[in-house]
Amino acid sequence: MLVLLQAVLGFDNLLYISLESKRAPAGDQERVRRWGIGLAIVLRIVLLFALVRLIALFEEPFGRLHWPGVVDAQLNLHGVIVLLGGVFIIYTATKEIFHMLSLDDLGGGGETESASSKAVIAKIVLMNLVFSFDSILSAMALTDNFYVMAVAIIVTGVLMIWLADSVAEFLQRNRMYEVLGLFILFVVGIMLLSEVGGHGEDKQTFLKFFGKEVNPMSKATFYFVITVMVLVDIVQSRYQKKLLRKRELAAK
């Protein structure tokens, strides 16, 4: 059950890794994915060890951001990490979407701006830590056994290494789904931002924009939105292919 939970929660992480690894040189992309996930597994276990012993430190509010009429937030360490991670993911997804729509992208065959392998691995590892908080906290709700959680993380990591190349190759062969992937990442970023709002009735942390409180997005809502997006994209792509076939037949 714990492995299944980690696998489901790791879907967005795997998608990010597949998209981000494209920035590395073509010959290094497979190695980048494996090294990135491998290092992330080690750091995730370290984070698990820290959270088990220092959970109160991560949940204790330590500061408040107040801009009258615009933003009001009381943050803890967990909130700061997911806030920065959410902003970064939204920025990355938005940047890539505009890049795909740019004239340079159309003229250059849609190649992604290259980066060094080490830089890509570092980004993958850092973002994995952001994603780790949610999965680790969910795991801690099911069990307090460190070794059980560590084994679940390792098994999930091995599955991610096994699937990463297949996901990346699928996106490379089906470029239309890359757009879907970027919008899914955008939703992931929004979900992370909503996590700053705290949980439960007795919220120690909160986030308000223009006087409106931001509440955490439930996992059911998140996966429902993703499912609808995927179904819409599949139906639309098939419909477009059908229209193209009709036009080709009409042209003959």
* pLDDT given at position 56: 62
CA distance 171 to 97: 15
Each residue of 80-131: pLDDT tens digit?
Answer: 777 777 888 888 788 777 777 765 544 444 455 556 778 888 888 777 777 7
* pLDDT given at position 104: 53
Q: CA torsion sign, 129 to 60 to 214 to 7?
A: positive
Each residue of 153-212: pLDDT tens digit?
Answer: 788 888 888 887 787 777 777 767 777 777 887 888 888 788 776 654 445 677 777 877
Mean pLDDT of the residues in the chain? 75
10 Å CB burial of residue 174 (0-12, 13-18, 19+) is exposed
Alpha carbon 63 to chain centroid, angstroms: 26
Q: Are 51 and 177 in contact (CB under 8 A)?
A: no
Amino acid at 159: L
3-state secondary structure the chain: CHHHHHHHHCHHHHHHHHHHHHHCCHHHHHHHHHHHHHHHHHHHHHHHHHHHHHHHHHHCCCEEEEECCCEEEEECHHHHHHHHHHHHHHHHHHHHHHHHHCHHHHHCCCCCCCCCHHHHHHHHHHHHHHHHHHHHHHHHHHCCCHHHHHHHHHHHHHHHHHHHHHHHHHHHHCCHHHHHHHHHHHHHHHHHHHHCCCCCCCCCCEEEECCEECCCCCHHHHHHHHHHHHHHHHHHHHHHHHHHHHHHHHHC
* pLDDT given at position 202: 47
* pLDDT given at position 219: 75
Helices (H) and strands (E) in the chain, counts: 9, 4
Say which residue, 203 or 39, is predicted with more confidence. 39
Say which residue, 7 or 94, is predicted with more confidence. 94
DSSP three-state, residue 63 = strand
E strand residue ranges, the chain: 63-67, 71-75, 206-209, 212-213
Least-confidence region, from 26-35, 44-53, 94-103, 192-201: 192-201
Give the residues across from 209 on adjacent strands. 71, 212
Least-confidence region, from 69-73, 109-113, 169-173, 247-251: 109-113
* pLDDT given at position 200: 45
What are the extents of the domains in the chain? 2-61+77-197, 219-252
DSSP state of 72: E
E strand residue ranges, 69-113: 71-75
Confidence (pTM): 0.66
CA distance 93 to 53: 34
Q: Which of 201, 138, 129, 164 is nearest to 35 (CA)?
A: 164
* pLDDT given at position 106: 46
* pLDDT given at position 208: 78
Least-confidence region, from 30-34, 105-109, 132-136, 142-146: 105-109
